[in-house]
Structure 1
Amino acid sequence: MTIMKPFPRYLALSALTFTTLQAFGQSADLDIIDNTNVVLTPTRLRQPISEVPGSVTVITADMLVKYGIASVPEALRLVPGMAVTQLSGGEYTINYHGSNSISPRRMNVLIDGMSVYRSAFAQVDWTMLPVAMDDIERIEVTRGPNSASYGPNSMLAIINIITKHPNESAGTSLSGSAGSRKTRSATARHGGKFGANTNFWITLDHRQSEGFEQVSGSGFTLPGVDPHHDSSKRDLLNFRSSTELSKDENLELRLAALNGRQGNPLLDQYQRSYPDVNLQERDIGVTWRKSLSPAHEIKVNAYLSRHSNDQNWVECLPALAYLPELGTLWRANPGYVLAIIAGRTPSGGTPADNLLAAAALRAIRGLGARATAPACGTTNQDYVENRADIEVQMTSVLSNSLRFVAGVGGRRDTAESATYLGGKVSNNTWRVFTNAEYRPAPSVVVNAGGYYESDNLTGSSFSPRIALNKHLNANNTVRVVLSRANRMPGIIEQRANWSYLTTGLDPALLGVTEAYYAQSARASGTLQAEKNTSREIGYTGNFPARGLMVDAKLFDDHLTNLISERITLASFNPTNANSLRLRGAEIQVDYAPAPKWNVHAGYSHLNADATTPMELTQYSRNSGVFAASHLLPGDVRVSLAAYRNQGAATGQSAFGKQDLTVSKSYRIGGAVLTPTLTVTHLDETEVRYFYDIGKSITNRIGNQMQYRVSIKATF
C-alpha cells in the first residue's frame, strides 16, 4: 500500500542522513534503548520519543534559561517549522507551517491539561497566557496533527506547557528584568508544604512592554495620534498543589488569576480614542488520580475558565451611518449602501431593494447638512467567554505487548457579546477517545487510535491515526504515520450576529442618543469542519553514548474544507471552499558532545500550494534555528541562538535574529544569585505582515541592537 507520494528531491538527503547516523550505533540489543527522552503529549501514554507516532520538540526549563528566552512565543522559535510573527507589542500570530496569518486557529495549546485555545472565538492570546516562565518545567510540541489524541483544533500541531510539579518546587526565588522597548518583569515564587501530605507552589508575575517604536500601514494619520500605541501589561497569580490522599491516590489543584491591558493603535480615521483592551482571566482546575492496580490507573480532570475582554472607544462617524433605513438596506443589499456612500445611484437589485434604497435616500435628504457631519459616541467590542470541562481517562497495561488509554469527556463553551453575537450563545461538546500501543514483535511498535467528538453547532467529527515504528537497532528507528485531523468552527464563525451599538451620541440624532451602525453581519450557521489528511515518514536516531538525538521527517498534509476568508463586518462570508497542500522535510538535532556543551538545531523546508493567497500569508519556504550553550569555569555560561525565517511576498516579511546570552551564578550563604545579560541583533528592523488583500502593516524597531538584563535569587 502506498502511504504517501514520493519526495524525489529529498530522498537523497534522507538516505545520506540515515546512512551517516546509523554508523553511530549498530547494537542489535533492543532492550538497551534509551528511555530517558520520554514524552506524554502525542498519545497520552508515556513513551520514548523513538516510539511516538510523530515528531516532537521538547523545550526544557534549562533551555529557556540558557538561551535567554523570556516568553512562550519566543520559545516556540526553537521549533522547526513554527512560524512566529509579532504583530504588535502584545500580539502574536503563531502557526505550525504558517498558512493563514489572519486566522491562526488550527493549533491547540494546553497548560497542564487545560486547553487555553478559546474555541468560542477561535484564538490563542499568546502574551496573556496564564503561566509564568519560571513555572515551566517543559514544553512538548507535537509537530503534526494530533486530533487523534486531543480532538478538533489540534489540526496542525499541539503545544503542551507542563509546569513544575509541587513535589519538586520547594524554596523561594525572586527575579526581575529590564530591557529594550521598556520591557520589565518581576517574579516572586515560593514552594512549600501544607501539613504532611500537600506540596504546593505559588507565583506572582508581572510583565510589561512598550511595544514597537512605530506602527504604520493603516493608511491614515491623525494629529496627536501615537504611532506605536501598542504597549502591554500583565499581572498573574498562579497556584498549584499536590496532595497524597493515599499511597495510590493523588489530588492536584490549579488556580490562575490574570489581569492585563493591551494597547491598540487607531484602526480608522473615525476613531477618537484608542481601542485598548482590558482583560481578565480566572481559571480553576482539579485532577484526581487513582491506581486501581499496578496495571490500571484512572484519572479525572476538570476545569472552569472565564475570560473577559473590555474594549471600548469613541467613534465619530457621519450621522447618516446611524440611520435605521440605511441599516435595513445594508441587510438586504450591501452593494446599494456602498453605492450611496460613493455618491452613485444604486441599481441592479430587486424591486424590494429599490424601495428600500428610496427610503434610505429620503432619510439622508431629511438630515440635510447633518448627514455628513460627525456624530460622536462610544462603541465597544466587549465579550465574555466561559468554559466548563470534565474528562475521565483510563490507562491500562494488558500485557507486555499491549497497553491503551481511553476516555470520555464533555465541555460547555459559552460566549456572550452584544457586539459579536447579539447576546449569549452556548455550545455543548461530547467526546470519546482511545489510543492503543501494540508490540507484535520486540522491534515493532504500532500506535492506533481515534477521537470522536460531537457538538451542537457543527455536528460530529472523527479523527483516526495509525502509525508503525520499526527499531532497526537500539539507536535507529523509522516510522510511518497516517492520520486525519479536524477543526470545528467556533461560535463566532457559526453564530455571529455582529453589529455595533453607539451610545452617548453627540449631537443627538433625530432626538435619540444611541443608535446602531448601519453595517452588520450574520453567520449562515452552515459551516463544516476543516479537515487535514496527513502522511509522514520519519526517522529517529538516539545515541546516548554520544549525547546525540536526531529527528527527521518527510510530510504531506492535505487540508480541505478550509475557512480561509477574512472575517470582517463589511465582508462576512466564511465558506468551506478552500484547500491547502503542505509538503516538505524537517530535521531536528539535539547534541551534548560534552557535559558542559549543548546544541539544538532545526531546519524546515516547506512547499505550499493553496487555492487562495490567504493561506500563504504566513508562508516561509525555508526556516531554521541553531542554538549552542557552553559552561565556562567559574559558573559562567555563554549561549548563542540564531533564528531565521525566509518570509514570503504574499504576507510576512523575512525575520532573523541572533541572541547572545551570558550568565554567572554566585553562591552567597544559602542563596544563589544569577545575573544574566541577553544582547539581540535583529537582521531586519521592520516586521511586515498581511492585513487585507493588497494591504500590509509594518512595525518598525529603530535599533537593530536590543538588550535585556535580568537577575534571579534562589533561596
Structure 2
Amino acid sequence: MSFVNIRRFVATLSVVILSPTSALCADQSELSELDYLNDIPVTFSATRLPQTLSEAPASVTIIDRRMIEASSATTIPELFRLVPGMQSYHIATNASAVAYHGMSDKFPPRMEVMINGRSVYLPLFSAVIWESLPISVADIERIEVIRGTNTVTQGSNAFLGAINIITHTPLSDQGGFIRYTQGEFNTRNAQAEHNQKTSHGHYRVAAGILGNDGYSFEYDAQDPYLKRYFSFESTSSPTLLDTITVDLGYSDGYSSVGDIRPKPGWNFKRREFETNFQQVSWTHTLQNTDELKLSYARAVNNFDARLLSAAEAAQLIQQPISVAQQFLDTNAPISITAETGNMEQHDVEIALKQQPSYNSKLISGLAYRSASAQNRQLLNTREWIKEESTRLFTNWEYSGFTDWTINTGALIEHVSNGSTRVSPRVAANYQLSNQSTIRTSVNRAYRMPSLLEANFENIIYIPPPYTGLYGDVYDYDFIANKDLSPEKLDSIDLGIIFKWPELNAQLDTRVYYEKIEDGITTSYQLQDAAMIASAPLDPDHLYRSYMNRAEWSNQGIEFQYKYQSEESLKPLLVINYGYIDSNGYRNDGNQQGSVTDVFDRLETRNPIHTGSILASITLPDNLNFSLSHYYLSSVRWQEGVKDTDPPNAPYHRTDLKISKGFRLSPQNELSIALIVQNLLDKPYSEFYAENMFEQRTYLQAQLSF
C-alpha cells in the first residue's frame, strides 16, 4: 500500500476516531505500574538470580511492553535503538544486524542473543539471522539487555554483551490477539496469539505470516521477504514442587543476501531458510527456597539457495562454459551465495539455586553444548563439522554488609579444540541512599573462536581432466587456522542508578573501559611453497585466514533516563545516549603482495555518538501519540563501504506512531495504529552506501480478546 493511499485512508479513519461516536471506547482501568517502577524491575539475566537493577553486577537495560507498544519498531532489531550504546542497522530492506562495542560488520560475533534463555546464535555465521527467528515484535513481553560482558552467566558468546528476549508467558492474563499490518513495499504481516488455561496447565500458541516485495534497486533488482512461523509453549505443575515447561517453534521462508550492489544482469541472491527448535525444562523446589533446574534444547537451522549455473561460473572464472561446468562438478555443491548451510545445536544444562543464609544467594551449574554445521563452500568438506563445549559456572551474591551487595562469579569453559579458559567477575554495589546506588565491577572474559572462525576454508579444486597438467588446486581463497586462540577482554566499569519514586523516574549511568587483545580478524598471507606447487595457475595469489591480529580498547559513557507514570495522560519518556572512544588496529596482512603489513586503524569503526528519545502520551478516549528520534554519528562499517569510500554520514531519524483503541466489549478491544518511520523524509544510508532508508508508512490493526 503506498503512502498516499494510507494517508487518504487515515484521513477518512480520523473522522471516525475523533468523532463523538467513539463512545464505544470506554476508559480502561489498568493496574498501576508504580510499584514495579519504584522498586526498579527485577532481572534474571545478569546472574540467573532474581535481582533488582540496583543489585545486579552489570548494567541492564529493560525494554518493557509499554516501550515496545510506544515504539515505531516493526522488526525486533529496531527495538535495540532504545538501548544506550547499541547499534541496530539494516544490511538490506529485510536483513538487519545488532552490535555493541565491537568491530561491526554484517555478522557481529561478540554478543549472545537468547529467546527465553535459549541461545539463537548461529555458529556457522558467528551471528544471529534476525529475519529467520520464529517470533515477531508482537510476541515479546520484554527484553533484557546486559550492557557489558556477561560470560560468567551466558558463556563466551556474551563477550561484550547479552540479549534475552522474553516472550509472553502462558501464565499471562492476556487471552489472545490477531494483528495485521500493511504498508511500505507492499508489506503484509498477519500474526495471532492465544493463551489458554486447562486442567493440565497453561499453554500459549502463536503464529504469523510476514512478507513484503522489498526495495527496488538499480538493475531492476529487488530483495523480497517472506516468513511463516509457529510457536507453542506450555507450563504445567504435576506436583506442588515441580514445574515442567515445553517450548517448541518453527519458521520457514526466504530473504535476499549478498552485496547491495549486484552486478548488471544479476538480481539479489534469494536464500531460503527453515528452522525449528524444541526446549524442555524441569524445575524442582528443594527445601526452603533452593531450586534445581534441568533443561535441554535442540535447534536445527537450514539455509539454502539455488546452485550456481555454468554460465554464471564462466563469468566468474573467465573460462568457457564447458570448463566452468567441470569446475562446478568437481567442487559441487556451489550455491549462488556461500551464506547457506545446515546447522544443529544441542544444549544440556543443570543449575542449582541456593540460599545458604538470609544474606546470601548462590547459583552454580554445568552446561554442555554440541554444535554441528555442514557447508562445503565455507568448511571445504561435504561432511559435518562438530564442535563441543563444556561450561562450569557459579555466582555468589552476598548482602550481609551494611549498604553493600557483593557479587563474585566465574566461568570455566572448555572447547573440543583443546582450549580452556577461566572468566571471573567481581562486582560491588553500594547503596548511597534510598534513591541512589553506585556499582563497580572488574571482569576478565574470553571468547572462544566460533565454529566458522576455527574451520573456515574455501579452496577451489581443478577438474580431473586438467590435474595432470595444472595440479590439484585452482585457488586458495581462505585457509583454516588451527592455531587460532580465544579473544581476551579486560574491563572495568562504574555505574550509578538514581531513582525518584515520587517523580516516577530513574536514571542509569555507566562509565566503562574495555581492552580487547588477541582479537580475531581476517588477514591476508602469501601462499607458501607447498601451495604454490599445487596451484601453479596463480603462484602469486594471496589467501586469507582468521588470525589473532587485532587489538583495541573502548572507553566511554552511557546513560538512560526513564520517566513513566500511570496518572493523567500516562506519560512515558525514555532518553538514551552513548559515547564511545575506540582506539586500536587490525592487521590486514600483506595485501597486493606488499612487503609490509597493512594496519587498519579502528578509531572510525564505531560511531562515537548514539542517541534516542522515545516520548508517548495517552489522551482521553484511549488515543495515543508516540514520537521516536534516533541519532547515529559518522561510522565506517567494517564491511559496509570500501576503504577508499567516505564513511557513512551521520543521520537523524524521527518516527511517529498514532494509535486508537475501541472497547468493543469487556473482553474485546480493537486498536488501530498509524506508523510513519523517517517522518521528515530525510533519506540516509545504512551500512552499504546504496542502502537508503526513506520514509516508510504502515497501518496496523489489532483485535484483542
- TM > 0.5 between the two? yes
Distance 1:261 1:473, change over 3 A: same
- Does the 8 Å CA contact 1:564/1:615 hold for their aligned counterparts? no
- Residue matched to 1:88: 92
- Does the 8 Å CA contact 2:409/2:425 hold for their aligned counterparts? yes
Q: Which amino acid aligns with 2:376?
A: A
- Residue matched to 2:244: 251
Q: What is the CA distance between 1:521 and its match in structure 2? A: 2.9
Of residues 56, 59, 63 in structure 2, which corresponds to 1:59?
A: 63
- Does the 8 Å CA contact 1:278/1:310 hold for their aligned counterparts? yes
Q: Spell out, residue by residue over 1:14-63, the C-alpha distance to the aligned partner (whole angstroms, 9 max, x if none).
A: xxxxxxxxxxxxxxxxxx99535111101111101011112111001221
1:23-34 to 2 correspondences below 5 Å: 34=38
Q: Which moved more, 1:73-82 or 1:123-132?
A: 123-132
Q: Which amino acid aligns with 1:307?
A: N
Of residues 688, 697, 701 in structure 2, which corresponds to 1:707?
A: 697
Of residues 192, 204, 208 in structure 2, which corresponds to 1:205?
A: 208
Identity %: 24
Q: Which amino acid aligns with 1:56?
A: V
Of residues 523, 537, 546 in structure 2, which corresponds to 1:574?
A: 546
Q: Which amino acid aligns with 1:379?
A: I
Q: Spell out, residue by residue over 1:640-660, the C-alpha distance to the aligned partner (whole angstroms, 9 max, x if none).
A: 111111122564442331111
Q: Give the gaps of 5 or more residues in structure 2.
A: 1-35, 526-540, 587-599, 638-646
- Residue matched to 1:526: 483
Q: What is the CA distance between 1:137 and its match in structure 2? A: 1.1
Measure the CA separation in 1 of the matches of 2:614 and 2:283: 38
Q: What is the CA distance between 1:167 and its match in structure 2? A: 1.2
- Does the 8 Å CA contact 1:318/1:374 hold for their aligned counterparts? no
- Does the 8 Å CA contact 1:319/1:509 hold for their aligned counterparts? no
Question: SS in structure 2 opposite 1:565?
Answer: strand
- Does the 8 Å CA contact 1:677/1:707 hold for their aligned counterparts? yes
Q: Spell out, residue by residue over 1:500-538, the C-alpha distance to the aligned partner (whole angstroms, 9 max, x if none).
A: 6899x9xx999xxxx986444320211111111111011
Q: Which amino acid aligns with 1:114?
A: R
1:49-448 to 2 correspondences below 5 Å: 49-168=53-172, 171-194=175-198, 196-214=199-217, 225-227=219-221, 229-264=222-257, 269=263, 274-312=268-306, 313-314=308-309, 316=311, 379-380=334-335, 381=338, 382-421=340-379, 422=381, 423-448=383-408
Distance 1:615 1:198, change over 3 A: farther
- Does the 8 Å CA contact 1:497/1:522 hold for their aligned counterparts? yes
Question: SS in structure 2 opposite 1:563?
Answer: strand
Distance 1:685 1:375, change over 3 A: farther
Distance 1:668 1:103, change over 3 A: closer
- Does the 8 Å CA contact 2:328/2:334 hold for their aligned counterparts? no
- Residue matched to 2:627: 640
Measure the CA separation in 1 of the matches of 2:264 and 2:325: 12
- Residue matched to 2:609: 622
- Residue matched to 2:655: 659
- Does the 8 Å CA contact 1:100/1:564 hold for their aligned counterparts? no
Question: SS in structure 2 opposite 1:104?
Answer: coil
Q: What is the CA distance between 1:283 and its match in structure 2? A: 0.2
Q: Spell out, residue by residue over 1:82-102, the C-alpha distance to the aligned partner (whole angstroms, 9 max, x if none).
A: 011211022222211352325
TM-align CA RMSD: 3.1
Q: What is the CA distance between 1:498 and its match in structure 2? A: 2.0
Distance 1:700 1:249, change over 3 A: same
Measure the CA separation in 2 of the matches of 1:156 and 1:498: 29
Distance 1:175 1:614, change over 3 A: farther
Q: What is the CA distance between 1:473 and its match in structure 2? A: 1.1
Distance 1:546 1:289, change over 3 A: same
Of residues 698, 701, 708 in structure 1, which corresponds to 2:690?
A: 698
Question: SS in structure 1 opposite 2:545?
Answer: coil
Distance 1:261 1:570, change over 3 A: farther
Measure the CA separation in 2 of the matches of 1:102 and 1:121: 10
- Residue matched to 2:12: none
Distance 1:453 1:709, change over 3 A: same
Measure the CA separation in 2 of the matches of 1:713 and 1:668: 10
- Does the 8 Å CA contact 2:564/2:571 hold for their aligned counterparts? yes
- Does the 8 Å CA contact 2:220/2:267 hold for their aligned counterparts? no
- Residue matched to 1:672: 669
Question: SS in structure 2 opposite 1:420?
Answer: helix
Q: Spell out, residue by residue over 1:392-439, the C-alpha distance to the aligned partner (whole angstroms, 9 max, x if none).
A: 000011112111111001111111122222121101111100000012
Q: Which amino acid aligns with 1:709?
A: L
- Does the 8 Å CA contact 2:203/2:234 hold for their aligned counterparts? yes
Of residues 574, 585, 597 in structure 2, which corresponds to 1:611?
A: 585
Distance 1:375 1:405, change over 3 A: closer
Measure the CA separation in 2 of the matches of 1:597 and 1:581: 39
- Does the 8 Å CA contact 2:149/2:443 hold for their aligned counterparts? yes
Measure the CA separation in 2 of the matches of 1:177 and 1:624: 28
Q: Spell out, residue by residue over 1:226-248, the C-alpha distance to the aligned partner (whole angstroms, 9 max, x if none).
A: 33x22221110011110111111
Of residues 404, 421, 424 in structure 2, which corresponds to 1:461?
A: 421
Measure the CA separation in 1 of the matches of 2:256 and 2:365: 42
Q: Which moved more, 1:371-380 or 1:610-619?
A: 371-380
Distance 1:291 1:673, change over 3 A: same
Q: What is the CA distance between 1:274 and its match in structure 2? A: 4.7
- Does the 8 Å CA contact 2:149/2:162 hold for their aligned counterparts? yes
Question: SS in structure 1 opposite 2:193?
Answer: strand
- Does the 8 Å CA contact 2:68/2:79 hold for their aligned counterparts? yes
Q: Give the gaps of 5 or more residues in structure 1.
A: 1-31, 216-224, 323-340, 342-363, 690-695
Q: Which amino acid aligns with 2:399?
A: R
Distance 1:575 1:248, change over 3 A: same
Q: Which amino acid aligns with 1:94?
A: V
Distance 1:126 1:616, change over 3 A: farther
Which aligned runs of 4 or more in structure 1 are off by greater than 6 angstroms? 369-378, 566-570
Q: Which amino acid aligns with 1:204?
A: A
Q: Spell out, residue by residue over 1:171-209, the C-alpha distance to the aligned partner (whole angstroms, 9 max, x if none).
A: 231110012122221001111134x13110111111123
Distance 1:646 1:318, change over 3 A: closer
Distance 1:120 1:376, change over 3 A: closer
Measure the CA separation in 1 of the matches of 2:124 and 2:325: 38
Q: How many residues align?
A: 616
Q: What is the CA distance between 1:121 and its match in structure 2? A: 3.0
Tell me the TM-score normalized by structure 1: 0.80
Tell me the TM-score normalized by structure 2: 0.82
Measure the CA separation in 2 of the matches of 1:464 and 1:627: 36
Q: What is the CA distance between 1:268 and its match in structure 2? A: 6.4
Q: What is the CA distance between 1:276 and its match in structure 2? A: 1.4
Measure the CA separation in 2 of the matches of 1:268 and 1:132: 29
Distance 1:245 1:501, change over 3 A: farther
Q: Spell out, residue by residue over 1:457-477, the C-alpha distance to the aligned partner (whole angstroms, 9 max, x if none).
A: 251121111001000111111
Distance 1:67 1:270, change over 3 A: closer
